[in-house]
Chain A
């Protein structure tokens, strides 16, 4: 994973499908082009769904990290 700084963190832990994607869309809407959003989730589906969401909306997936039960997903607004 390349170096980048996180501009905003979205805590979506505890939420189930489709809320992490909805919250991600709403959070990115308020951010500027090129900024990085960190999404925290414990929903296993989000690990698959959010990269697909990023691809279909044209936003860049920078990486996925797993720490204990928390999945951290990094998206760059495009």
Chain B
């Protein structure tokens, strides 16, 4: 890495669990990684859906967690749009439109970001509230961290986004 890009980084808090907001995050993440910047994504609350593995409708320890996870079922291939979801028709049409323009799908973006060295951090507190475990998430997520660790990464980044 050369002098120009040294010590520069991007940290994104992905709080939202919608496809459009997740793709926007990954466009920024992959572009920044291509510029040689260190990119970190902290997945919290609804954003955890983006990195959930497929399958497993009922997760959690008590009935409230189980109900929440059932109603909030989702993964990279199954996320709603934040506008014009139209009971799932919106995301289906958006996927077709994006394929026509050769925009990668969210799963492709995740793989590409990982290959470019983007680091994925699931939020420990959201996971414990929702009753989720590290094995519920895709293998690209290495480390589960808390708010203090997130902040220590964020303070060393010069671009911080909350999406």
A contacts, CB < 8 Å to B: 14-19, 21-22, 24-26, 53, 56-58, 78
Chain A residue with minimal CB distance to B27?
A: A18
Contact pick for A57, options B4, B27, B112, B116, CB 8 Å: B4
**Of listed A22, A25, A56, A58, residue having the most chain B CB within 10 A:** A22
Q: B4 near A58 (CB under 8 angstroms)?
A: yes
B contacts, CB < 8 Å to A: 2-5, 27, 30-31, 33-36, 101-104, 112, 116
- Complex formed: what's the CA distance from A14 to B27 in Å? 17
- Complex formed: what's the CA distance from A18 to B31 in Å? 6
In the assembled complex, how far is the CB of residue B39 from the closest CB belonging to chain A, in whole angstroms? Answer: 12
Listed from nearest, the 5 A-B pairs whose CB atoms lie closest are A18-B31, A25-B34, A58-B2, A22-B34, A21-B34
- Complex formed: what's the CA distance from A15 to B108 in Å? 14
Chain A residues near B102 (CB, 8 Å)?
14-16, 19
Chain B residue with minimal CB distance to A20?
A: B34
Chain B residues near A57 (CB, 8 Å)?
2, 4-5, 35-36
Contact pick for B4, options A21, A24, A56, CB 8 Å: A56
In the assembled complex, how far is the CB of residue A35 from the closest CB belonging to chain B, in whole angstroms? Answer: 16
- Complex formed: what's the CA distance from A62 to B35 in Å? 18
Chain A residues near B33 (CB, 8 Å)?
22, 25
- Complex formed: what's the CA distance from A77 to B39 in Å? 23
